[in-house]
Structure 1
Amino acid sequence: MVQQDRAIRTRRLILEAAASVFDDRGYDRATIAEVLERAGVTKGALYFHFASKEALALAVLDEHVLDIAVEPQPIKLQEFVDVTQVLSHRLCSDPIQRGAARLAVEQGSNHLDRKRSMISWTQFVEGVLGEARDRGEVLKSVVIRETAELHVGAFAGIQLMSQTLANRADLNRRVTVLHQHALPCIAVPAILAKLDLDSERGEALDAAIKAGALVDAAAP
């Protein structure tokens, strides 16, 4: 068990170091040597977990948004808002989310399959919006698949703009503006009036998620 825990920690350390390098330098310019230096591990330890730079990048992309489990809400669209606000907050501070975001949208090497991140995020949004529709929260005119793709594309563009202009410091506010403009075209008016779009909500929700994870980890 001790060795397994150590292996899990080492893998996470390598992932975070790799994501940081990808965020700073992009996929093509990143090197295994830089990852080793930032992680403080041996080459053997890295290759035990990841066979190549491409495998490292794909693992970072696989981590993107997949561990955001917000508290269930009476209104499913509120969960949709909450996940995007938590992700926005993490893009300001979480090395893996930052690295994955750059890998997903940067133009350059054709050796890395970036589609999987966009596809998985779109499928997630599509699932949440589909459940919201089944609950009667979404306007009947909304085409769920197209709306999910539009949201993912808009979010990707907004986070790039925020990164360029403010190192993502204003990303939560920009995402709130996106919701304020997009949700009236998606949500039933009675539901829209009940949604909390506060741009500071992401930070508080992320702290609650991490606190819950610590409690679960400490449980026998």
Structure 2
Amino acid sequence: MVRQVRAVRTRRIILEAAGAVFDEFGYESATIAEILARAGVTKGALYFHFGSKEELARGVLSEALTVEGVLPQPLRLQEWVDVGLVLAYRVPREPLLSASIRLSADRRARELFGTSWPGWIDFVAGQLAGARDGGELLPCVDPQITATLFVSAWTGVEIVSSGLGEGGVLERRVAMLYEAFLPGIAVPGVLRQLDTAPDRGARVWRAHCEQQSEEGSGAVPVAFYRV
């Protein structure tokens, strides 16, 4: 059991180091040597978990589809808002998540192992379909089309915002993105109830972390409560 826990921890350390290197240098310029230096592990330990740089990149992408920290809400549209705003809070702070965007936007990397976008589009479409079934969407809204457009827009906002170098800019711009999207898809009564404030993601994430701290575990289902 101790050996298994150590292996899981080592794999995570390697992935986080790889994420930081891919995020900083891009896929082509990233090197195993630099990843080893960042991770502080032996070459044997790295190759035990990942056989190549390509496998490392695939591992980073596999971590991208994460809804950790998003708490279930009475309105499905609020959950959709929370997903985007929590990510807007976390991505600038977590190179592993940021790297998944860089890899997805890298043409060479896309040719080798695809992107995380299809998974995100399907996830968001599922959220919007749930909102439609709950009577939260206007009748004309197609969840799959809306999800595709939104993921495309969110990604573009992140790529542009990351180049501006201003702290907190991504959270503000993603909040603006939701404010632009929601009037065209949400029924008016629901629209008035939604919290799209730029600090919403930080509040939801901190509530999630506090909940996990109280429960004494970093990998348990979060409780159902509203933020």
What's 1:59 paired with?
Answer: 59
What's 1:38 paired with?
Answer: 38
Q: Distance in 2 between matches of 1:108 and 1:22?
A: 13
Kept in 1, the 8 Å contact 2:82–2:201? The answer is: yes
Look up the equivalent residue of 1:105 and give its one-letter code. A
Secondary structure of the structure 1 residue equivalent to 2:160: helix
Look up the equivalent residue of 2:125 and give its one-letter code. E
Instruction: Say whether residues 1:21 and 2:47 are aligned partners.
Output: no
- Distance change (3 Å), C-alpha of 1:130 and 1:11: same
Q: Distance in 2 between matches of 1:36 and 1:92?
A: 23
Kept in 1, the 8 Å contact 2:104–2:110? The answer is: no
Look up the equivalent residue of 1:107 and give its one-letter code. R
- Distance change (3 Å), C-alpha of 1:213 and 1:53: farther
Kept in 1, the 8 Å contact 2:121–2:148? The answer is: yes
- Quote the offset at 1:110 in angstroms: 5.3
- Quote the offset at 1:90 in angstroms: 0.7
Secondary structure of the structure 2 residue equivalent to 1:217: coil
- Quote the offset at 1:68 in angstroms: 2.3
Structure 1 residues 162-171 or 90-99, which shifts more? Answer: 162-171
What's 1:210 paired with?
Answer: 209
What's 2:183 paired with?
Answer: 184
Look up the equivalent residue of 1:11 and give its one-letter code. R
Q: How many residues are aligned here?
A: 218
Question: What is the TM-score when the length of structure 2 is the normalising length?
Answer: 0.91
Instruction: Say whether residues 1:92 and 2:108 are aligned partners.
Output: no
What's 1:156 paired with?
Answer: 155
Look up the equivalent residue of 2:120 and give its one-letter code. W
Secondary structure of the structure 1 residue equivalent to 2:113: coil
Instruction: Say whether residues 1:174 and 2:173 are aligned partners.
Output: yes
Superposed CA deviations along residues 115-173 of structure 1, whole A, max 9, x for unmatched, are 3x000000010000000000000111011111000000000100011011126630010
Instruction: Say whether residues 1:145 and 2:138 are aligned partners.
Output: no
Structure 1 residues 199-208 or 20-29, which shifts more? Answer: 199-208
- Quote the offset at 1:107 in angstroms: 3.2
Kept in 1, the 8 Å contact 2:20–2:96? The answer is: yes
- Quote the offset at 1:69 in angstroms: 4.4
Q: Distance in 1 between matches of 2:88 and 2:55?
A: 25
Q: Distance in 2 between matches of 1:186 and 1:128?
A: 13
Q: Percent identity?
A: 47
Kept in 1, the 8 Å contact 2:85–2:198? The answer is: yes
- Quote the offset at 1:30 in angstroms: 0.4
Secondary structure of the structure 2 residue equivalent to 1:112: helix
What's 1:107 paired with?
Answer: 107
Kept in 1, the 8 Å contact 2:23–2:102? The answer is: yes
- Distance change (3 Å), C-alpha of 1:156 and 1:110: closer
Structure 1 residues 76-85 or 96-105, which shifts more? Answer: 96-105
Kept in 2, the 8 Å contact 1:70–1:79? The answer is: yes
What's 1:198 paired with?
Answer: 197
What's 2:123 paired with?
Answer: 124
Look up the equivalent residue of 1:129 and give its one-letter code. L
- Quote the offset at 1:67 in angstroms: 4.2
What's 1:134 paired with?
Answer: 133
Look up the equivalent residue of 2:162 and give its one-letter code. Q
Aligned residues: CA RMSD: 1.7
- Quote the offset at 1:179 in angstroms: 0.7
Kept in 2, the 8 Å contact 1:162–1:168? The answer is: no
Q: Distance in 1 between matches of 2:170 and 2:135?
A: 30
